[in-house]
Structure 1
Amino acid sequence: MYAAYGSKHDLYLKALERYGAHEATKAQQGLADTGPALPALRDFLLSYVDAALADPERTGCMVTHGVMERVPGDVEAAQRLRTALGSLEETFFELLLRARTSGELTPGTDVRSAARFMVTFTQGLRVMEKAADRSYLTQAVDQALKAFPRSLGQSGSPTGG
């Protein structure tokens, strides 16, 4: 191991990079649908919930654990974690921009702030997946999506109904 990675810390950093890249790809693919953006966002968030609840040990998200355990003391890990979270923010930004452009959100919606809210909410969701059941987490997702200002004619319901 030391010959290949140099140290346990270097191995952790490589694993963190790989995990972050995998999660970024998963988010981009999960939110790339050309249909309505907000139902896609809800489905994506619930896919996190379903994956966590399917894990009998509820091991959780490496990025979330990294933020809680390694930041601010580990500068190298913090940089990689910020990259992973930044990638998620950009994916949410693109999705929410599409929602604003398509009329799902009001024209003045600050999609950058909304994307940052979603990153923050997602990290909290990833923590709560360890302790809560699906009903609790689904209610939290639906409540978070109510924070977005909808255009006239758009339902306040996160599922569009």
Structure 2
Amino acid sequence: METRQKAPIGRPRGFDTDQALEHAMRVFWEQGYDGASLTDLTNAMGITRTSMYAAFGNKEDLFRKALERYTQGPASYGARALQEPTARQVATTFLNGAIRATTHPGCPTGCLGVQGSLAAGEPGRKARDHLKAWRNEHTSLLRDRLRQAVEENDLPSGTDPDLLARYLMTVANGIAVQAASGTTRDDLQQVVDIVLCSWPPPAVAAEVRD
């Protein structure tokens, strides 16, 4: 009679995976994909390379997970902006959120999604492509929300939602670069205030003004 051996029960991980991922996200955020060595990552996470591979996969897998955490955490202002009732409020929440996220005390300056792999060489190509897709996805979500605003007469009928979405994303990306260069929150807020001053009014308001 054949007997089957029970598979050994896996040992529980001796570390908090959520906390380890938080630390990894901050390393990628501050140093970029290429700049973050495995030693930097494992030291910050407080684990060995073997434990990192077992829990998160290779460096590229870890980067993807860190970006997901960043999207749901520091960059969650993007999702909140899409829920605002008017296009102007969408723009306001999006740009003000970009300022807060890129200049938050105790966090790296700039944006993981912008600077994470801009200088990545060939080994970081997949990470760079992943970030490009990440930025394009968020631009598309903004475009769809602004297209809805045009359909609801919340923006003038001649407004190009795609162009306006790219405009917002370009300003947000610029905010990230400037924040990483040391520009203060107050100075960045002045830039956003200028952008919002030129924001197109609702279609009805534009008709009344004309």
Say yes or no: TM over 0.5: yes
Which residue type is aligned with residue 172 of structure 2?
T
Deviations 1:103-124 (A, max 9, x none): 3422111111111121121111
When the two chains are superposed, the root-mean-square deviation of aligned CA atoms in Å is 2.9
* Distance in 2 separating the partners of 1:88 and 1:132: 24
In the aligned structure 1, how far is the partner of 2:57 from the partner of 2:160? 44
Conserved? CA contact 2:150–2:159, under 8 Å: yes
Matched, 1:33 2:108: no
What is the CA–CA distance in structure 1 between the aligned matches of 2:71 and 2:174, rounded to whole Å? Answer: 17
CA distance in 2 between partners of 1:56 and 1:22 (Å): 14
Decide which of 143, 153, 161 is 2:205's aligned counterpart: 153
Q: Distance in 2 between matches of 1:129 and 1:52?
A: 6
Give the secondary structure class of the aligned counterpart of 2:158.
coil
Which of 1 and 2 has higher RCO (CA within 8 Å, sep 6+)?
1
Matches of 2:204 and 2:177 in 1, distance apart? 34
Q: Which of the pair has more CA radius of gyration?
A: 2
- Residue 88 of structure 1: how far off its partner (Å): 1.3
Q: 1:76 aligned to 2:126?
A: yes
User: Secondary structure of 1:54's partner?
Assistant: coil
Instruction: Read off the aligned partner of 2:134 and give its amino acid letter.
Output: A
For residues 118-158 of structure 1, the C-alpha deviation after alignment (integer angstroms, 9 at most, x for no partner) is 1121111112223222332122112233554434625xxxx
User: TM-score, normalization: structure 1?
Assistant: 0.74
Tell me the distance in 2 between the aligned counterparts of 1:107 and 1:72: 44
Contact 1:60–1:129, Cα closer than 8 Å, also in 2: yes
8 Å Cα contact 1:71-1:77 kept in structure 2: no
- Give 1:32 deviation, angstroms: 0.6
1:111 is aligned to 2:147: no
Which is further off, 94-103 or 107-116?
Answer: 94-103
Question: 1:89, 1:55 → 2: CA distance?
Answer: 27
Partner amino acid, structure 1, of 2:78: A
Distance 1:23 1:102, change over 3 A: farther
Task: Go from structure 1 to structure 2 and tell me whether the alpha carbon gap of 1:147 and 1:67 turns closer, same or farther (over 3 Å shift).
Answer: farther
Does the 8 Å contact 2:78/2:97 carry over to 1?
no
Number of aligned residues? 153
Q: Tell me, which stretches of 5 or more residues in structure 2 are unaligned?
A: 1-51
Partner deviation per Cα, 1:63-99 (whole Å, 9 max, x = no partner): 1122423377632112311221122112211332233
What's the CA shift for 1:100? 2.0
Please give the residue correspondences for 1:31-70 in structure 2 after superposition, counting only pairs within 5 Å.
31-34=82-85, 36-70=86-120
What percent of counterpart residues are identical? 29
